[in-house]
Amino acid sequence: MNIVVTAAAAFAVGAGALIGAQAIGFASVKQYLTSEAARRPVMPEMKPAYNLDTRNIGSVIPKMPPIDTKAGERAALSAINRQIDLQIRAGNAVPGPTFRHMR
């Protein structure tokens, strides 16, 4: 009985310490968010290094040819055909009935 009371007291002290640490952390975050330091910008305002004329950007970037997906389609179809072939072979490998009256 003494060990149960000790375990319950240790659990209560641990839970109290955890709740207290969370409350202190929450209070410090809340205090920082309401302070003047949180309102300052962290990064300076960025300005572009140069102006880029995007009206004729198409002449600079080449047009890519269409991607040929025929090889992927053939690979998928051959994989499906292979699975079907394996299933058919597995079905043929099942032994037939061994009793004469079951045929």
Digit-coded pLDDT (tens) for 4-30: 999 999 999 999 999 999 999 999 999
Structural domain containing residue 17: 1-40
In a domain, 69, yes or no: no
Q: How far is CA 90 from CA 43, 83, 86, in A?
A: 66, 10, 6
pLDDT in tens, 41-96: 777 888 888 887 777 777 777 788 899 999 999 999 999 999 999 999 988 887 77
In a domain, 72, yes or no: no
Counting runs of H as helices and runs of E as strands, what totals does the chain give?
Answer: 2, 0
In a domain, 96, yes or no: no
Neighbours of 76 (CB within 10 A): 11
In a domain, 95, yes or no: no
In a domain, 29, yes or no: yes
In a domain, 17, yes or no: yes
Q: How many domains would you assign to the chain?
A: 1
pTM of the model as a whole: 0.37
Would you say 17 and 23 are in contact if contact means Cβ atoms under 8 Å apart? Answer: no
In a domain, 103, yes or no: no
Q: How far apart (Å, rounded) are the C-alpha atoms in residues 80 and 74? A: 10
The pLDDT of residue 101 is above 70: no
